[in-house]
Amino acid sequence: MSRKAQLRRRAREIALQLVYMLDLRSCPSADEALELFPADEALELFRGELVEEGEAALPDKKKFPFVEAFDISLSDAERDEVISYAQELFRGIRADYAAVENAVRMHLESRWRSERLDSIDKSIISLAVYEGIMSKKVPLNVAISEAVYLAKIFGTGESPKFVNGVLGRIARGR
């Protein structure tokens, strides 16, 4: 995986957490939500955890359940790029929230019970719909692949298959 792809993946993880927070807590503006989630501090905490453990060890999975072997030796420019892309995705989803939600809901009702969709799966699907369909920041197949990856990390055992199925149905319905 290229360095740019790694940075984008990290940005998606941050954006996912912001979208998930939005689903659980209403925020009047995207800026207010961004203030509640200090992404830069999260990266610093992660770096501090590695330094405490001698750089070679992975951080405590209880504190950072989503982290695998990511090279955190980020330059300032890379850190800014990660945070900027995460904020860009979040602001875009926030701005088009009704349209994103409608696209997801429209493709769920005929095949899956809405109670099957938990908040994290909904957030992952929303992120992929926005990134791959609405903003076209990445090809749709990349958005789906990244969503399945996020579902493996953040979701339940059934989440990857479910997320892939919903996004596949959305892609076919376009």
Q: ∠ at Cα 90 (85, 95), nearest 5°?
A: 125
pLDDT value for 50:
45
Contacts of 174 (CB under 8 A, 6+ apart): 133
pLDDT value for 18:
82
Helix (H, G, I), strand (E, B) or coil at 173: coil
Strand blocks (E) in 99-168: none
**Residues 168, 128: Cα–Cα separation, whole Å:** 11
**Of 12, 11, 8, 18, which Cα lies nearest the Cα of 119?**
18
pLDDT value for 87:
86
pLDDT value for 159:
92
Mean pLDDT, 10 residues at a time, over the chain (174 residues)? 86 87 69 64 52 50 50 72 88 88 76 70 94 94 96 92 91 82
Tell me if 64 sits within 8 A of 46, measured CB to CB.
yes
pLDDT value for 2:
85
